[in-house]
Amino acid sequence: MKYVSTIFKALFLSNLKSPSGLFWTIIFPVILLVILGSIFLNVGKSISVKVSIVNESSTFKGSNMDFASYIVKALRNMSKATDDKVPLLKIESGTTSRFLKKSVKELKLDKIDAVLVIPKFFNTYIYARTLHFPLKMKNEPIEIYTRQNSQSSNIAFSILDSVVSAFNKKFIEHSGIKKLVVPKIEYISLKKSSPFSYLNFLVTGIIVMAFMTVALFGVTDDLLVQREKKVLRRIFVAPIDRGHYLLGMTLSNLTLEVFQFALILIVGMWMGAKLNLGLNAILYILLTLVTTMPLGFFVASFAKSANSGSALASMFNFLFMFLGGLFFPITNVPFAVKAIAYSIPTTYLANGLRAAMGVSPSPTSIYLNILVPVLWAVVMTLYSVRYFKWEV
């Protein structure tokens, strides 16, 4: 134990004092988290559009023939928040032409997304048409103003249009019927039943990435660089066994990962991530720690020199990082990419960790999420035991 702790202390201290090492293993994941987190914070959040309703209708006011007020009411209902849902619409309404002017101006300035105008004789017109009155009057359509080339404006238009169409349909269907049914309109919220948060998705992905980075670069450095610089030879002529060094080195990297994990978690939560840290989560985190470490052993055994080792580590790092779905979901990638994605361990580790931390249900089975990383770890460990050379 004395030997292991001696090596552990020396390597850990060296890591702590190495500016570049600290940057890549500790600071970089946090920076990545903050950058990606702030760029894509709105991904998966429900949208809501702002609409002004100008109700100029002045006939049949207050009566049950006030069709305009039904439309306004329906739209109002859509702007009410229920449960934890974000309302689809934010509505301001008015009746004056001054309000109309103000609304159009706001639309131009991007402050609102659409303006719906109900004309003055709307109720009269609808009433006449419904009862097939041979009343000669010109069409008084509802007008919707939108902004050109604006996505949110298009969304606002679709919503308003769908409400108005629903009324149209009812009017036509029931023309001649005395009872006018107010259409029931459901929320068309973009939120799924279990709320998806990109930030939670990202934090768990970054945790897997951070572990992988330490395993790939930390272990490669402790084995290949130290071997190449003959530091290992110097240590092994002292009364210490290679097993002691391996253990001390592994512990030093694991400790680094624990610090890393804590830091990412703190920053992630500060940014608003909500993660579950129950027993399952902790067990899965331990599994992730243990199964990523052999990646470094493999690189150290496969590469002949420290240079080729760091190139190989970078290659694995990129492959596992981007195809492992650590930062972005990989559901919509081409088949070939998906085939690779579903053969690498980080995909399963990320899925498993997300499920364990309550971020999102895993698209792969829990057994695979354990089995595949363990299989990788076993194969890489066996390869390393067979092919690693302490001396070059």
Partner 1 sequence: MAKETIIEVNDLKKHYGHVKAVDGISFKVLKGEVFTLLGPNGAGKTTTLEVLEGLKTHDSGKITMFGKTLRTNVPLEIRERIGVVLQENNFIEHLTVTEILKMFKNLYPSPLKVNEVLKIVSLQEKRKARVEKLSGGQRQRLAIGTALIGNPDLIFMDEPTTGLDPQARRNIWDMIEKFKNSGKTIFLTTHYMEEAEMLSDYVYIMDHGKIIANGTPRELVSSFGEEKIIEARVNTNNGKISELKEILGDIEIEESKVIFEASDLPKTMKSFLDWAEANSVEVEDLSVRQSNLEDVFLKLTGRSLRD
- Look up residue 211 and give its two tokens: 């572990």
Taking the C-alpha atoms of residue 383 and residue 337, their distance in angstroms, rounded to an integer, is: 26
Type of residue found at 159: I
* Cβ-based nearer residue to partner 1, 202 or 249: 249
Q: Indicate whether 234 belongs to the interface with partner 1 (CB under 8 A).
A: yes
Least distance to partner 1 from the beta carbon of 30, Å?
A: 21
Q: Indicate whether 230 belongs to the interface with partner 1 (CB under 8 A).
A: yes
* Cβ-based nearer residue to partner 1, 21 or 87: 21
C-beta separation of 298 from 380 below 8 A: yes
Q: Indicate whether 173 belongs to the interface with partner 1 (CB under 8 A).
A: no
Least distance to partner 1 from the beta carbon of 263, Å?
A: 20
Q: Indicate whether 391 belongs to the interface with partner 1 (CB under 8 A).
A: yes
Least distance to partner 1 from the beta carbon of 213, Å?
A: 19
* Cβ-based nearer residue to partner 1, 66 or 222: 222
- Look up residue 151 and give its two tokens: 């996505």
Q: Indicate whether 389 belongs to the interface with partner 1 (CB under 8 A).
A: no
* Cβ-based nearer residue to partner 1, 24 or 342: 24
Q: Indicate whether 251 belongs to the interface with partner 1 (CB under 8 A).
A: no
Residue 226's alpha-carbon distances to 105, 229, 234, 249, 250, in angstroms, are: 69, 5, 10, 11, 14
Q: Indicate whether 237 belongs to the interface with partner 1 (CB under 8 A).
A: yes
Q: Indicate whether 85 belongs to the interface with partner 1 (CB under 8 A).
A: no
Residue in 28, 171, 196, 236 binding partner 1, rule: CB under 8 A: 236
Residue in 85, 229, 304, 389 binding partner 1, rule: CB under 8 A: 229
Taking the C-alpha atoms of residue 54 and residue 234, their distance in angstroms, rounded to an integer, is: 84
C-beta separation of 145 from 117 below 8 A: yes
Least distance to partner 1 from the beta carbon of 187, Å?
A: 58
- Look up residue 341 and give its two tokens: 């994605």
Least distance to partner 1 from the beta carbon of 218, Å?
A: 13
Q: Indicate whether 241 belongs to the interface with partner 1 (CB under 8 A).
A: yes
# residues contacting partner 1 (CB under 8 A): 24
Looking up tokens 């009057």 gives 137
Taking the C-alpha atoms of residue 92 and residue 75, their distance in angstroms, rounded to an integer, is: 10
Least distance to partner 1 from the beta carbon of 314, Å?
A: 20
C-beta separation of 216 from 296 below 8 A: yes
Query: Alpha helix (H) ranges present in the chain?
Result: 2-17, 19-22, 28-39, 67-78, 97-108, 122-130, 151-173, 198-213, 219-220, 226-228, 231-236, 242-271, 279-302, 306-323, 335-341, 345-356, 366-387
Q: Indicate whether 11 belongs to the interface with partner 1 (CB under 8 A).
A: yes
C-beta separation of 11 from 248 below 8 A: yes
The footprint of partner 1 on residues 369-388 (CB under 8 A) is none
53, containing H or E segment: strand 49-55
Residue in 35, 231, 277, 371 binding partner 1, rule: CB under 8 A: 231
Q: Are strands 143-146 and 114-118 parallel, antiparallel or unpaired?
A: antiparallel
Q: Indicate whether 6 belongs to the interface with partner 1 (CB under 8 A).
A: yes
Residue in 123, 130, 220, 226 binding partner 1, rule: CB under 8 A: 226
* Cβ-based nearer residue to partner 1, 48 or 252: 252
C-beta separation of 249 from 11 below 8 A: yes
Q: Indicate whether 143 belongs to the interface with partner 1 (CB under 8 A).
A: no
Residue 361 phi/psi, 5-degree rounding, is: -65, 145
User: Which residues sit at the interface with partner 1, rule CB under 8 A?
Assistant: 2-3, 6-7, 9-11, 13-14, 17-18, 226, 229-231, 233-234, 236-241, 391
